Structures are given as C-alpha cells and as structure tokens.
C-alpha cells in the first residue's frame, strides 16, 4: 500500500518539472492495473468522497419538486429541475446531452425517479450518471455537501483510469490525502486489492507523468 509521504513526493516532483502556465493547472492521478482479465467485463463506477474539497466543487443537479426543490435552491444547488422541466428535456436530446455533460452528479427525489428513468435514463445510464435517490424529508443540504466534495471514478474494460485530485495551488498534503482516499477505495474493488496495482502516476494538466512503480508483495 502506498503511503501519504510517497504521494507528496510524487506531487512535488510533478509540480517541479512543470513550466509556469497562464492558467491554474489541475493535478491528476493515473492508476494502471495488472492481473485482471478485462474480457470478463471488468468495470468500476465509484463515487468517492474526498477528505479535502477541491477549489472547484463538483457540479450537482437536483431533480425535485415541492419542499425538496425549494430547499435545494436555498442550498445553492447548481440547478434544480422539476417534473415538467424533465418532460421537456425528454423531447430534446441535444439539451439533455448538454445537461448531462455539464454536471458531475445528479440527485433525484424518489417520487421523480420513475419519471427520470423514463425521460433521461437512456442517456444518463450509459454515462454512469443515473441520479442518486433522495428519500422524502431527507436533508438535501447534507446530500449536496457530500457530493460537492466527491468525485466519480469510472473505467470499463480497461487496465487504466485517471481522475482529478486537486490543483497546483492546493496544499500538497491535501492533494495527497485525496489521492490516497481514491487509491484506497479502488483497491477495495479490485479482485486482489493492491496486488492488482501496477503503477501510480501523478501529473499536472500539461506536465509529464511522475511514476511510482508498485513493489511486488509476496
């Protein structure tokens, strides 16, 4: 298992080797796997809550009516859609695709889940973005806060994945904490845990990947 100090070293080296840019670069984590038969349908679609929120929180769209819709707006959800708006979207696939690409996560009042499945399911499903159901009277604010500090890690029939873990202006230990949380969550989903990890890499948006070869455990 990789430790936080090793990840901090990778992050420092990735930042050191990068030229100064006119925009704030992200820091990205890359994992490659081994000893997994992708032909058997290997896939991951995990929502992982990060211990340190990134400077740009995840975008969350809420599908709700009535009291939950009002509370979602008060909690500054990025967008709130009611039943009528969902029905209109169903008639315009172009606008639906724009919506799906715009937001990282979708939350839906359980009363609207059937409507969501019927109107948007064909486009949300293949992208792994079906809404998380929110029960009646559940604290929508809590759901929003959790998903704003989360990231979706998705891979299908591949031995590699990548995701954002922070940016170059964040504290390096905070970025390392995020990376460690993702690695730990992914290891739990692998057939043989960390034995299936071949390589860990960290890079800036425009930089070269800095590699950490995983030691073989007996």
Torsion, CA 70, CA 71, CA 73, CA 79, rounded to 10: -100
Where do the domains of the chain lie, and which CATH numbers do they carry? 4-55+151-213 (3.30.190.20), 60-148 (3.40.50.790)
User: Quick one: what percent of the chain has pLDDT higher than 70?
Assistant: 96
**Span 142-176, pLDDT tens digits:** 999 999 999 999 998 899 999 999 999 999 999 99
Q: What is the mean pLDDT of residues 107-121?
A: 89
Which residue reads 């043989």 in tokens? Answer: 192
Which residue reads 């992200």 in tokens? Answer: 26
pLDDT at 19: 67
Q: What is the mean pLDDT of residues 51-55?
A: 90
**What are the percentages of helix, strand and coil residues in the chain, rounded to 5?**
40, 25, 30
**Span 58-99, pLDDT tens digits:** 999 999 999 999 999 999 999 999 989 988 888 888 888 899
């Amino acid at each position: 298992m990789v430790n936080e100090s090793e990840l901090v070293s990778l992050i420092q080296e990735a930042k050191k080797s990068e030229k100064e840019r006119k925009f704030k670069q992200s820091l990205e984590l890359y994992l490659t796997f081994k000893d997994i038969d992708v032909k058997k349908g290997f896939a991951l679609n995990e929502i992982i809550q990060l211990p340190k929120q990134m400077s740009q929180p995840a975008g969350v769209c809420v599908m709700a009516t009535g009291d939950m819709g009002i509370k979602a707006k008060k909690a500054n959800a990025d967008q709130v859609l009611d039943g009528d708006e969902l029905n209109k979207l169903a008639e315009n696939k172009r606008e639906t695709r724009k919506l799906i690409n715009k937001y990282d996560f979708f939350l839906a009042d359980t009363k609207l889940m059937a409507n969501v499945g019927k109107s948007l399911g064909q486009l949300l499903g293949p992208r792994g973005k079906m809404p998380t159901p929110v029960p009646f009277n559940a604290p929508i604010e809590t759901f929003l806060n959790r998903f704003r500090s989360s990231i979706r890690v998705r891979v299908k029939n591949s031995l590699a994945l990548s995701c954002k873990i922070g940016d170059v202006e964040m504290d390096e230990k905070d970025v390392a904490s995020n990376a460690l949380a993702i690695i730990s969550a992914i290891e739990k989903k692998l057939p043989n845990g960390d034995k299936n990890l071949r390589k860990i890499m960290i890079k800036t948006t425009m930089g070269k990947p800095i590699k950490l070869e995983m030691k073989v455990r007996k």
